[in-house]
Amino acid sequence: MEKFISHSGIVAPIDIPNVDTDAIIPKQFLKSIYRTGFGDYLFDEWRYLDQGQPGMDCKNRPLNEDFVLNQKRYKKSTILLTRENFGCGSSREHAPWALNQYGFRVLISSSFADIFYNNCFKNAMLPIVLKNKIIDNLFKLVSENQGFSLDVNLSDQIILLPNKKSIEFDIDASLKSNLLEGLDEIGTTLKIFDKIKTYEVNRMKNSPWLFNRPKLKK
């Protein structure tokens, strides 16, 4: 998994509360057994005017010009600003896959659905929770300033605004460490692979009867 230490990027605003995972990546795209190719279908029912299907070439699909991500000023955005309870609904990991593969590295909201929140960390994205008052102000700044960008520093847990003011954010220490090192749960476990192997060898030596079970007759 890619490490996350700091990130600077343009902010795209989706000023809608309770955005569920079916809006993020509609159910028809869950048929794929691969973890790639979801970025083109992010917010599919909002971005396009036709009905999307897996495997469709999106280059010539009719766009909803009113949708934020289709507007020129937000085309290169890598930070998503949104409202409370983002990522609610079903616990599909396809939702963070789609966001990450589109190009988002940071998500900012006043709250996230729990499973979605944790899935973001497994996909090299940083979800940041801020107070509603701060979220309101960020929406105002994004609206008033074309190309509005933020500098996010995970190590210091600080968001730096263009006017050099800063916003501090909280994050669980273990989740922070995993992002900084580029590790998911499997990667974290493999860090102590030698200890696990030593434990298993010693266990077989000290309790051999556990490993000498009689074979069942067919």
| Predicted local confidence at residue 218, as pLDDT | 62
Taking each helix axis as running N to C, give the angle between helix 114-121 and helix 173-181, from 0 to 180 degrees, rounded to the nearest 10. Answer: 40
Total domain count, the chain: 1
Angle at 16 between CA 4 and CA 173, to 5 degrees: 30
The answer to the question of residue 145 being in a domain is: yes
Residue-number span of the structural domain to which 92 is assigned: 6-183
What pLDDT digit, counting tens, does each position of 149-181 carry?
A: 999 999 999 999 999 999 999 999 999 999 999
Q: What is the CATH number of the domain that holds 133?
A: 3.20.19.10
The answer to the question of residue 195 being in a domain is: no
pTM value is 0.89
Q: 212 or 20, which is more confident?
A: 20
138 C-beta neighbours (distance < 10 Å), count: 21
